[in-house]
Amino acid sequence: MEITLTKMHGLGNDFLLADDRKGFVAANISYGELAAQVCDRHFGIGADGLILILPSTSCDLGFAIWNSDGSEAGMCGNGIRCFARYVYEKNILRQKIMTIETASGPVICLLENDGEDLVTGVRVDMGPPRLLPEEIPFICPADKTIEVPLKVLDQAFQVTPVSMGNPHAVIFLDKIEGIPLEVWGPLVEKHPAFPEKTNVEFVEVLSKEKMRVRVWERGAGVTLACGTGACAVLVAGVLTGRSGRRAEILLPGGSLAVEWDERSGHVYKRGPAEWVFETRMKIKAGHCGFLR
């Protein structure tokens, strides 16, 4: 059985996309196993995650995201923009406004085009942030859920947990240049206060309208950008009085414009989605091999 894998990225957060609306992939290999194999940067193609285009009975299409370690996630902000461009330009869903079913609820994508009808950007209604400890989930060691003290090694971090359909631990620091991200990241990711683990964002506030972020992603490690993470940072910035409701989030791979709309309570972000390349591969009984 052969499938097409398409590589795309959003600000360097890279994904492999596969159209499995007919269920042929799932019939031959679990999505988690496929993700772990094809996302491997040495033995596979290499990516931060695997995205599936799936059917939906409640929305225009279904979306699923699996991290490179084979774990499933509830949402992916950079990945949903790649998904929207993929299904539009491949004529799977030729709509500029699309409602996508995700594991954490429906998400609305608005595509921006140039004169050639190529997608130049995608604005996403990410829905409302989830802030209750049980929604994140977060086992709150204090009687507050903002700037909660969390001990990691010799550090006493102040964590603001936010879910955008997936958990985020937002930590504001005076400086983020040179922090041991690959040491602190996994320790926070796997901290017992986060029973489903968490994505981790270290943030340096540059102004009320601009914040710089470095990310350790659950199930993927250091990434160049995290869309849901950028939204969680904006929400935490508002909750802690560090930012306005609209800000530019600067990530190593580029910047995202994020807004937490007061009237609707929804978080909106807009950013790019880029094609990289496409390949065919064979799948047989739980293993995938590339066509020679």
Ligand X SMILES: N[C@H](CCC[C@H](N)C(=O)O)C(=O)O
Q: Which residues contribute to the site for ligand X (CB under 6 A)?
A: 13, 48-49, 65, 67, 73, 76-79, 166, 199, 217-220, 226-229
Dump strand ranges (E) for 68-209.
72-73, 97-102, 105-113, 119-125, 148-152, 155-163, 167-172, 199-207
Please say which residue, 51 or 238, places its beta carbon nearer to ligand X. Answer: 51
Phi/psi for 171 (5° steps) reads -125, 115
Distance in Å, CB of 128 to ligand X, minimum: 16
Query: DSSP label at 227?
Result: H
Quote the CA–CA distance of 207 and 219 in Å, as a whole number: 31
Query: Considering only CA atoms, which of 223, 166, 184, 284 is closest in space to residue 39?
Result: 223
Q: At its nearest, how many Å lie between ligand X and the CB of residue 160? A: 17
The first and second tokens of residue 262, run together, are: 């007061």
Q: Between residues 63 and 88, which has the closer beta carbon with respect to ligand X?
A: 63
The active-site residue out of 76, 82, 109, 231 is 76
Query: CB 19 → ligand X: shortest distance, Å?
Result: 20
CA 104/CA 167 separation, integer angstroms:
11
Question: Residue 202 Cβ, how far from ligand X at the closest point, in Å?
Answer: 16
| The two structure tokens encoding residue 127 | 């829905």
Provide the annotated binding site.
13, 67, 77-78, 166, 199, 217-218, 227-228
**Catalytic-residue membership of 140:** no
Half-sphere exposure of 14 (CA within 13 A, CB side): 14
Output the smallest distance, CB 94 to ligand X, in A.
Answer: 25
Give whichever of 48 and 101 is closer to ligand X, judged by the CB atom. 48
Query: d(Cα 51, Cα 19) in Å, to the nearest integer?
Result: 9
**Residue numbering of the annotated binding site for substrate:** 13, 67, 77-78, 166, 199, 217-218, 227-228
144-176 residues labelled b (16+ CB within 10 A) or e (exposed) = ebbbbebebeeeebebbbbbbbbbbbbbbeeeb
- Closest CB to ligand X among residues 10, 44: 10
Compare residues 82 and 288 and give the one whose CB is closer to ligand X. 82
Catalytic residue among 39, 82, 226, 288: 226
> Is-catalytic flag, 226?
yes
User: Which residues are tagged catalytic?
Assistant: 76, 226
